[in-house]
Amino acid sequence: MNIPSTPRSVSFEPSTHDRLRIAMVVPPYFDVPPVAYGGVEAVVADLVDALVGRGHEVTLLGAGRPGTAARFVPVWDHIQADRLGEVFPEVMHALKIRRAVERLVAHEGVDLVHDHTFAGPLNAPFYRDLGLPTVVTVHGPVGGEEYEYYSELGRDVSLVAISDRQRALAPDLNWAGRVHNALRVDDWPLEKDKSGYALFLGRFTEDKAPHLALRAAHAAGIPLVLAGKCKEPPEKAYFDRAVRPLLTERDHVFGMADSVAKKKLLSQAQCLLFPVQWEEPFGMVMIEAMVCGTPVVALRGGAVPEVIVDGVTGRICDDPAELPAAIDEVRHYDPVACREHVARDFGADTLGRGYEHVYRRVLRSRRSRAGRSATSVVTVSAQIGVVPAPATAVSAQLGASTPPAGAAAAKAVRPAQLGTRSPRGPLTAAGDTA
């Protein structure tokens, strides 16, 4: 079922190129944009609005309610938030999306699929048979088992990194480019007068290390507000073991913050604490804090040096012992400089332009490979003296009868269903002959 979206206001620089038709695939767990938790969904919401604003035709495939400028096609009756982490909804979502894309190609035409899920890229060979390239944004880590997964996908998918550091950790994967995450600056408040608390905002895990945030805040003599996701058993176990024993009466466990509460918490905080203990692929909350005029105090890890301007929009520390002094220092940083940094380097239109560049590169590469393949076939045929026979001659040789009118009509329709040139857009679904 197609549901017309109730779009947020869209104002982006229009593209100077022809329109693309994009099937955008998101996980089934949260609305787009999310009501509360949902970093991937927040990025995708801004991306599709940017792409639509640049003149492209985007169909968003997922679950929940419509909320972007894209046309929305739900493949579930409701979001699957209560089943996050289970295998069945992840795999079933991939199957539902496959059928939805097949229908979209048959009835309207698609130029490419852009997938933001984990299991979804397994559909890439199917999309290839439909003449569609698959672009996959890697929102998570690229080490260990994840590396094996993306490596085995091979050239069936074109991967997009969300930071230079993420790409550098697995340089041999089939990367098509790097596009930093971004946001719509005007959707976030700028607050110059800060309250007297530090903020931790994220999942309660060892990797995110709110226990280090507590120790740093206590050493700096400032209360800490902790807001974020603590729903799954490992998160609850970590909280009880490492966080609860450190809490004082000055600290406040806020719980999960919806979009309104999150903006208020971020804009009023003296600083955001980001003491990551892993190779953070990006760290969306850092740009969310800075766009509100709130500096970030972080430990060096993953993409942190790509996001923070050390000494201007935050401090990057190499040891947890350095965090308390950094908390005191950033009180004097300019909130406007923090916001301007995000507007310049992480605004939503940079997201739209970046992915548009990736899409066209992937489509050009596909056309180039198709051309080389066709040339090879012609060359080999000439070398061995093969002359292609007319279809009628082949049918006669095989004793095939002339197909009935209905079958001929079906065959005539099929190429259009698989994305040949259509008046709806300038490119074929395959992107190979436009």
- Where along the chain do its domains lie? 21-183, 186-346
Q: What is the per-residue pLDDT for 370?
A: 64
Identify which of 114, 76, 62 has the alpha carbon closest to the alpha carbon of residue 355: 114
- pLDDT category at 303 given cuts 50, 70, 90 is very high
Contacts of 394 (CB under 8 A, 6+ apart): 400
Are the C-beta atoms of 214 and 239 separated by less than 8 Å? no
CA 175 to centroid of chain Cα atoms: 14
> In the predicted model, what is the mean pLDDT of residues 351-365?
95
Residue 123 above 80 pLDDT? yes
Residue 421 above 50 pLDDT? no
> In the predicted model, what is the mean pLDDT of residues 206-234?
95
Residue 416 above 60 pLDDT? no
Q: What is the per-residue pLDDT for 75?
A: 97
Residue 417 above 50 pLDDT? no
DSSP-derived 3-state class of residue 62: strand
Q: What is the per-residue pLDDT for 413?
A: 35
6 against 415, higher pLDDT: 6
pLDDT tens digits, 127-142: 999 999 999 999 999 9
- pLDDT category at 85 given cuts 50, 70, 90 is confident
Residue 431 above 70 pLDDT? no
% of residues, the chain, pLDDT over 90:
75
> In the predicted model, what is the mean pLDDT of residues 150-158?
97
Residue 403 above 70 pLDDT? no
Q: What is the per-residue pLDDT for 13?
A: 56
Average pLDDT across the chain, whole number: 86
> In the predicted model, what is the mean pLDDT of residues 216-223?
98
Q: Which fold has domain 21-183?
A: Rossmann fold (3.40.50)
Question: DSSP letters along 116-129, please?
Answer: -SSSGGGGHHHHHH
> In the predicted model, what is the mean pLDDT of residues 186-200?
96
Q: What is the per-residue pLDDT for 183?
A: 94
Are the C-beta atoms of 303 and 141 separated by less than 8 Å? no
Q: What is the per-residue pLDDT for 18?
A: 86
C-alpha distances out from residue 28 to 25, 77, 81, 89, Å:
9, 10, 8, 8
CATH code for the structural domain at 186-346: 3.40.50.2000
> In the predicted model, what is the mean pLDDT of residues 318-333?
98
Kind and range of the H or E element at 57?
Answer: strand 57-62
Q: How far apart are CA 111 and CA 100, in angstroms?
A: 15
217 against 378, higher pLDDT: 217
- pLDDT category at 14 given cuts 50, 70, 90 is low
Residue 290 above 80 pLDDT? yes
